[in-house]
Amino acid sequence: MLRGFGGGAFGVYVHVPFCATRCGYCDFNTYTAGELGTSASPESWLAALRGELGVAAAEFGRLPGAQPEVATVFVGGGTPSLLGGDGLAAVLDAVRAEFPLAPDAEVTTESNPESTSPEFFARIRDAGYTRVSLGMQSAARHVLAILDRTHTPGRAVAAAREARAAGFDHVNLDLIYGTPGETDADLDASLDAVLAAGVDHVSAYSLIVEDGTALARKVRRGELPAPDEDVLAARYERIDARLGAAGLRWYEVSNWAANDSARCRHNLGYWDGGDWLGAGPGAHSHVGGVRWWNVKHPARYAERVARGGLPAAGWETLTPEEQYTERVMLTLRLRSGLPLADLDPSASPAVDRAVADGLATRTPTHLILTDRGRLLADGIIRDLLL
């Protein structure tokens, strides 16, 4: 089914499906030890991961043209730091064993602050990781409690400083805003902590109540209010103003970086329509306009790998119309904007409306969201695609 590489940057995403506890807002493909029982373990997952990477490398080797070097590796989850420094080193070794890494490859791991230490950061830096992304969410204890986060409010900042001391130039902190019970003062305290940590990248996401989560059940029963859209918009503007004043500029609607080298190159590969292999349970891949996704449960994933072939639960070849839709949806969110040449002529009236309403600016080559347009990006995208 694969036809060839798309010609853009090539990345590898590795999904670690393990968590110590389940956060109430999370709908990711993750499992606690109690949920898995004896059906899967980090050891069986790593063995299956090695098998999948080997199968994928063989499949890619049959494609026309030379296989591109891996420009970025991103280990996400789940909680990759639960593997420990040696475990994460083994993951990167498994990728290197099957794929050529570019000399300047960006190698990122997500980490929970509570499962890190100075020794952990030193070990993964020595192993070849170049970037760390830490889940902070909030500096307010009661907000963390509503989100079912287990780390203490000050641990994320301490972990970020430990990562910097271990030699990481690129450290990200994740924030979630709009949690029920969060006040402006709580958000300000979180931003104070982020800026005090001295990180060069911040991601900030509005709380989304996902169906099937513990948080959704609490909202449905009336135990917690649903996030308020006006509050979310005001919080976003507050975040952008504080980060911008501190020298962190937005480069994607939910991401801010101190400079170009601090931007997450792996995520830019997604937003720019690049190719990537997603390895691990439930991971998604995209190569040359073909997308596939793996079986979700770690035990079923390992069984599928053991039978040979990619552990895919499904495949799809994107039509030109689907590729166009994704191009508009993803690229418009970038500070660099959406190339006007990529737009269908039928979108011209929508472009004119967005500019006239002050939601976007039009350069000779690009359509770029204004500050107000970022708040209404989803609506602008829908209008462009009508």
CATH of the domain at 164: 3.20.20.70
User: Is residue 299 one of the residues assigned to a domain?
Assistant: no
> Within this chain, do residues 153 and 27 fall inside the same structural domain, yes or no?
yes
User: Is residue 98 one of the residues assigned to a domain?
Assistant: yes
> Within this chain, do residues 333 and 221 fall inside the same structural domain, yes or no?
no
> Within this chain, do residues 263 and 325 fall inside the same structural domain, yes or no?
no
CATH of the domain at 331: 1.10.10
User: Is residue 39 one of the residues assigned to a domain?
Assistant: yes
> Which residues form the domain of 225?
10-272
Q: pLDDT digit of tens for each residue in the chain (386 aa)?
A: 788 998 889 999 999 999 888 787 777 888 888 888 888 899 999 999 999 999 999 999 999 888 899 999 999 999 999 999 999 999 999 999 999 999 999 999 999 999 999 999 999 999 999 999 999 999 999 998 888 887 788 899 999 999 999 999 999 999 999 999 999 999 999 999 999 999 999 999 999 888 888 888 988 899 888 888 999 999 999 999 999 999 999 999 999 999 999 999 999 999 999 999 999 999 999 999 999 999 999 999 999 999 998 999 999 999 999 999 999 999 999 999 999 999 999 999 999 999 999 999 999 999 999 999 999 999 999 999 98
Strand 70-77 relative to strand 10-16, pairing: parallel
User: Is residue 197 one of the residues assigned to a domain?
Assistant: yes
| 3-state secondary structure string across 329-386 | HHHCCECCCEEHHHCCHHHHHHHHHHHHCCCEEECCCEEEECHHHHHCHHHHHHHHHC
> Within this chain, do residues 151 and 22 fall inside the same structural domain, yes or no?
yes
Kindly report the pTM of this predicted structure: 0.95
User: Is residue 301 one of the residues assigned to a domain?
Assistant: no
Overall number of domains in the chain: 2
User: Is residue 219 one of the residues assigned to a domain?
Assistant: yes
- For 367, phi then psi, to 5°, come to -105, 120
User: Is residue 65 one of the residues assigned to a domain?
Assistant: yes
Domain limit, last residue, from 238, 272, 306: 272
> Within this chain, do residues 234 and 349 fall inside the same structural domain, yes or no?
no
> Within this chain, do residues 241 and 369 fall inside the same structural domain, yes or no?
no
> Within this chain, do residues 266 and 333 fall inside the same structural domain, yes or no?
no
> Within this chain, do residues 222 and 364 fall inside the same structural domain, yes or no?
no
Q: How would you class 57 by CB atoms within 10 Å of its CB: exposed for 0-12, middle for 13-18, buried for 19 or more?
A: middle
